[in-house]
Amino acid sequence: MAYLASPKATKEIIEQFQFVFQKRFGQNFLVDANILEKIVQAADITEEDFVLEIGPGIGTMTQYLCESAGQVVAVEIDRMLIPILNDTLSEYDNVEIIQEDILKADLYALLQKRSHNRPIKVVANLPYYITTPIIMRLFESGIEIENITIMVQKEVAERMQTGPGSKDYGALSLAVQYYADAKVELLVSASCFMPRPNVDSAVIKLTRHPKPAVEVNDEKLMFQIIRASFNQRRKTLVNGLKNASGLSFSKEQVAAALQKIGKPETVRGEALTLSEFAMLTNELSRNIGE
Asked if residue 195 has a cis previous peptide bond (ω within 30° of 0), the answer is yes
> Where does this chain touch ligand SAM (CB under 6 A) — which range of 44-52, 123-131, 198-206, 279-287?
123-131
**Cα–Cα distance for residue pair 174/159, rounded to 1 Å:** 9
Write phi, then psi, for 176 (nearest 5 degrees): -60, -45
Q: How far apart are the first and last CA of the chain?
A: 66
**In the complex, minimum distance from the CB of residue 31 to ligand SAM, in angstroms, rounded to a whole number:** 8
Q: Which of 54, 138, 258, 272 binds ligand SAM (CB under 6 A)?
A: 54
Contact at 8 Å (CB) between 57 and 81? Answer: yes
Handedness of CA 50, 55, 57, 61 (dihedral sign): negative
Q: Does 76 bind ligand SAM (CB under 6 A)?
A: yes
By CB under 6 A, tell whether 229 contacts ligand SAM.
Answer: no
Smallest separation, CB 125 to ligand SAM (Å)? 3
283 binds ligand SAM per the rule CB under 6 A: no
- The distance of closest approach from Cβ of residue 269 to ligand SAM in the complex, given in angstroms and rounded to an integer, is 29
How many helices (H) and strands (E) would you count in the chain?
Answer: 13, 9
In the set 40, 43, 75, 160, which binds ligand SAM (CB under 6 A)?
A: 75
Closest to 272 (Cα-Cα) out of 154, 206, 177: 177
Given candidates 13, 57, 89, 205, which one binds ligand SAM under the rule CB under 6 A?
57
Interaction site with ligand SAM (CB under 6 A): 25-30, 54-57, 60-61, 75-78, 81, 101-103, 125, 127, 130
